[in-house]
């Protein structure tokens, strides 16, 4: 029986992987990767292959959700499964690990840098003052789903910040921007009118976190909606109650 090792690649490029993760990937018989839940904007599949000295087999959403190609390989030898960020951030990866364990396959995790911890660090705010993380999806046939708005409202009610992950469709190379995210929240506010996102709401927009020069702006919704954040993966924060040290840290990032 082989083994299945989940390896987080980090946030931006092929240099973000840990030494431990790089060694494990290099030693594996087979290396799979998926980039539909997230991706590395600062590199390519070829760049990762060059850094690891291994050929990658990039899986589709259907491949990962089925799991057969990964699990069948792991029954015969050592398999590395690479993802952006930290591997266990996606429920499909947790499910894949549980299914491997059910088959008697040895599993392990080598963690990568996560956006959940990186964003508070970039902004200089307290990690433990964040509430539930929400994902803002692209607009459906009728409108945006209301649950992200309600979760932000619940966090604000407890004085907590909200990390907002913006939708990606990796296989279609479609990535939501901060500008689109702000517009979506304003549309939801217009529909629900519960005072969650107002002209005075303090927010942050971030792009290319993990790079040497991430784009970061703190301000009101209009300022973020009009700002050019450039390319790369982007995310947002809606701030709750601020400690005086957080206020000082954010002042230099404000528009």
| Structure confidence at residue 174 (pLDDT) | 85
**Half-sphere exposure in the Cβ direction for 146 (13 Å, CA):** 8
Tokens of residue 182, six digits: 């702000």
Find tokens 């991430």 and name the residue.
214
Based on C-alpha coordinates, what's the Rg of the chain? Answer: 19
Lowest mean pLDDT among 53-57, 118-122, 138-142, 212-216: 138-142
pLDDT in tens, 204-247: 999 999 999 999 999 999 999 999 999 889 999 999 999 999 99
For the chain, give every domain's residue range: 3-110, 115-251
Other Cβ atoms less than 10 A from the Cβ of 45: the count is: 16
SS3 72: helix
Confidence of residue 69 (pLDDT cuts 50, 70, 90): very high
Which pLDDT score is estimated for 142?
A: 58
Alpha-carbon gap, residue 190 to 235, rounded angstroms: 22
The candidate with the shortest Cα–Cα distance to 234, out of 150, 160, 149, 174, is 174
Domains 3-110 and 115-251 share a fold: no
Question: CATH classification of 115-251 is 3.40.50.620, yes or no?
Answer: no
* 135 contacts 234 by C-beta, under 8 angstroms: no
Residue 111 DSSP class = -
Homologous superfamily of domain range 3-110: Tetrapyrrole methylase, N-terminal domain (3.40.1010.10)
- Judged by DSSP in three states, 107 sits in strand
pLDDT in tens, 72-111: 999 999 999 999 999 888 888 999 999 999 999 999 999 9
User: Mind listing the pLDDT tens digit for each residue in 134-160?
Assistant: 999 887 655 678 899 999 999 999 999
Name the DSSP letter for residue 7.
E
pLDDT reported for residue 144: 73
Q: Give the pLDDT confidence score for residue 140 in this predicted structure.
A: 63
Angle (deg, nearest 10), helices 45-52 and 19-27? 90
In which band, very low, low, confident or very high, does the pLDDT at 253 lie, cut at 50, 70 and 90? confident
Strand partners, 81: 6, 32
């Amino acid at each position: 029986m082989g083994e299945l090792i989940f390896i987080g690649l980090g946030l931006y490029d092929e240099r973000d992987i840990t030494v431990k993760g790089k060694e494990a990937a290099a030693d594996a018989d087979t290396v799979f990767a998926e980039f539909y839940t997230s991706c590395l904007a600062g590199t390519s599949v070829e760049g990762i292959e060059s850094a690891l000295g291994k050929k990658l087999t990039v899986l589709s959403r259907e491949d990962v959700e089925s799991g057969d190609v990964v699990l069948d390989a792991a029954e015969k030898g050592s398999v590395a499964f690479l993802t952006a960020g930290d591997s266990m951030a996606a429920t499909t990866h947790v499910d894949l690990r549980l299914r491997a364990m059910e088959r008697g396959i040895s599993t392990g995790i080598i963690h990568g840098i996560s956006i959940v911890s990186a964003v508070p660090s970039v902004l200089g705010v307290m990690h433990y003052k964040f509430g539930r993380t929400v994902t803002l999806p692209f607009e459906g046939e009728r409108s945006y789903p209301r649950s992200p708005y309600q979760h932000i409202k619940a966090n604000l009610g407890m004085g907590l910040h909200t990390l907002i992950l913006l939708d990606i469709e990796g296989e279609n190379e479609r990535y939501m921007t901060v500008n689109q995210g702000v517009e979506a929240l304003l549309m939801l506010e217009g529909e629900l009118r519960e005072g969650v996102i107002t002209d005075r709401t303090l927010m942050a927009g971030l792009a290319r976190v993990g790079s040497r020069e991430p784009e970061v702006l703190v301000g009101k919704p209009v300022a973020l909606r009009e700002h050019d954040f450039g390319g790369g993966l982007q995310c947002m924060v809606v701030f709750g109650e601020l400690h005086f040290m957080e206020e000082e840290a954010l002042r230099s990032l404000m528009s």
